[in-house]
Amino acid sequence: MTRLSPGRASWKAIVAIPLLFAAAAFLQVRIDAQTRSDGAQQEQLLVSSGALLKKLSLGYDPLLADIYWTRAVQYYGTRVGEGHGDFALLDPLLNISTTLDPHLIIAYRFGAIFLSEPKPIGDGRTDLAIQLVKRGVAANPNEWRLDYDLGLLYYWRLKDYQPAAAAFLAGSNVPGAPFMTLKLMAASVAEKGGSIETSRMIFAELYQSTKDPEVQKMALKELRALKAQEDEMHLDQIVREYEKRFRRKPASIQELISARLLRGSPVDPAGFPYEIGPDGKSRLDPRSPIKPPDQ
C-alpha cells in the first residue's frame, strides 16, 4: 500500500475541511428551501448518517454538531411559524447533531421538547423524544437533568408512572443532583402509579439517609400514611370476601371478626382502629392524625 507523505496528507486535510463545510452549507440552503415550500411532498438530507459525518469531520465534529443543531432549531422554528405540523427532518437533524457531539446537552433537552409537543407546535412523537433523551443519558451519566427530562416525558406525555418514577430515582443518585426533590418526585409518581412498595422504599431511604429533622418528620409521615393505605387495601379485600359469602356489605369491623375473616380489630400506625364506612369500604378513624398520602 502506498502511504501519503505528511505533506500530501496535510494538504488533503486542508482541502477536505472546506469541502465538508461546503456540504454543510449546501444542506442548510436545501433545508431552507424545503421549509419555505408548503408544497414539498418529500424531504431528504444530503447526508443522513451522523456516524459518517463524524468520520468526515476530521476532528471538527463539535463544530459541525453546532451547525446541525442550529439548523434543527431554525427548521423547527420555521415549521411552527407555518403551522402545518410537518417535522419530517427534525428527528434526523437531532440525531446527527447528537451523534457528532454526544455531550451537546441542549440538543437532547430542547430537541425532546420539539419532538414531544403535540402537533402543530411539535412533532407529536414522544417515542422519538424518549429515544433521544435515553441516548443522552447513556452518553452523559452525570447529567441528572436528562433523567429528570426523561421522567417528565413518561409522566406528562405518556402517563406511564413506573418508568417515570425510575427515571426520577436514577437522577436523584447522580452527584450534584437535588436528590431530595427528585426522590420525592419518584415516590409521589410511583404511588400515583399504584406502586406502594416502591414509594415506601424511597421514603424509607430518605428517612434513614437524611440528618434534617424536618425531612425525617415528613418521610415518617408518608411511611405511616402508606402503611395505612396498604392496610385499607387488605381490609377491602376482606370486605369483598364477606360480600361473596353474605350477599351484603358489612356494617362494621366487628361483623368481619364475627365472620372469622379477622382475628381482631386492626389499628392504624397511630393506634386508632379502622372503620367500615357507609359505602362498605374501610377508612381511617376521623380522630386519627394519619392522612392519606395525597393529602
Share of the chain above pLDDT 70, in %: 78
Q: Is the pLDDT of residue 96 over 80?
A: yes
Least reliable range by pLDDT among 27-36, 83-92, 196-205: 27-36
Q: Is the pLDDT of residue 295 over 60?
A: no
pTM check: above 0.75:
no
Domain boundaries, the chain: 49-140, 229-295
Q: What confidence score (pLDDT) does residue 145 get?
A: 96
Interval 51-75: pLDDT, tens: 555 555 555 677 888 888 999 999 8
What was the pLDDT predicted at 53?
57
* pLDDT at 11 (0 to 100): 36
pLDDT at 149 over 90: yes
Average pLDDT rounded to a whole number, residues 140-145: 96
- The DSSP-derived string for 193-233 is TT-HHHHHHHHHHHHHH---HHHHHHHHHHHHHHHHHHHHH
**What confidence category does residue 93 fall into, taking pLDDT thresholds of 50, 70 and 90?**
very high
Statement: residue 48 has pLDDT above 80? no
Fill in the amino acid letter for 239: V
- What digits encode the pLDDT tens for the residues 173-186? 999 999 888 998 99
Query: How many residues does the structure list for the chain?
Result: 295
Report pLDDT for 206.
83
Of 291 and 155, more confident: 155
pLDDT at 43 over 60: no
Cell of 180: 431530595
Residue type, 172: S
Model confidence band, residue 192 (pLDDT cutoffs 50, 70, 90): confident
**C-alpha to C-alpha distance for 132 and 137, rounded to whole angstroms:** 9
The pLDDT value given to residue 40: 38
What value does the mean pLDDT take over residues 190-217?
Answer: 83
Q: How far is CA 185 from CA 165, 167, 202, in A?
A: 7, 10, 10
If you average pLDDT over residues 6-28, what whole number do you get? 43
Asked if residue 20 has pLDDT above 60, the reply is no
Please give the Cα distance from 257 to 191 (Å, whole number): 30
Instruction: Give per-residue pLDDT as tens, 211-262.
Output: 888 888 888 998 999 899 899 999 999 999 999 999 999 999 999 999 999 9
Q: Return the percentage of the chain with pLDDT > 90, whole number.
A: 51
